[in-house]
Amino acid sequence: MDTQERLKLKKRYEVLPDEALLEMIAEGKDAYSPGAFELLVEEKEKRGIAESHLVQPSVTCESGEDEVQSEELPSEQYIALAIIVEYKDYEYAVSLLKNSDVLYSFEKLSLKGAQFPVSLIVQEKAVKKAIALLQGFKPAGGMVFW
């Protein structure tokens, strides 16, 4: 992993909610390209969070080829579709998208460093598909942008 990739990943991991970070770590080192798993652990240690908070599978982009592809995509190609303020809605959004080929992720938005709200971001070219999958999704206290 070169420095640029490392920085990109580091930045990305910094904005993940605690739960998402722990879920990714739970997938194990073999699930990641060399160096990526160590960055996850480093971020976890920096936050001082315990793995007992683990609850759900990964909420970042789908694994395998797509994940590599998403890392290489510039941020301009992603747009936000929703603001989510509760964990249950975040879980629900994951459940709607995780089995699709839509690349998605979550970004922390709180100015005070809180875990929520987060924005759900999807690859711009997959917006229509994502919206179709998310039809009826109405995050409590949050907002959708379509």
Partner 1 sequence: MRIVGKVVFIIFMVLSLLVAASAEEQPSPSPALYQKGITFAAEGKFREAQEEFKKALEVKKNDSTSLSSLKVLRDFEEGTINKDFTLLFFKGIDLLVQNQPQQAITELQKALLIKQDYVRIYNILGMAYASSGNSEQALTHFKKALQINPSYTDAIYNLASYYASLENYQQALECYQIIIALDPDSADAYANIAAAYAALDQYPQGIAYYQKLIALNPQNGHAYYNLGLAYFMTDDFFRARESLVSAQKIFQQKNDQENVAVAEAYLEKLKQFENKWGSPGGS
* Site for partner 1, rule CB under 8 A: 76, 79-81, 83, 85, 107, 109-112, 114, 116-117, 119, 141-143, 145-146
Contact of 55 with 108, CB cutoff 8 Å: no
Closest to partner 1 by CB, 60 vs 119, is 119
Closest to partner 1 by CB, 63 vs 77, is 77
Return d(Cα 70, Cα 72) in angstroms, integer.
Answer: 5
Q: How far is the CB of 127 from partner 1 (least distance, A)?
A: 9
Closest to partner 1 by CB, 22 vs 84, is 84
Provide, for the chain, the percentages of residues in helix, strand and coil under a 3-state DSSP scheme, each rounded to the nearest 5: 50, 15, 40
Q: How far is the CB of 131 from partner 1 (least distance, A)?
A: 11
Question: Token digits for 141?
Answer: 């206290």
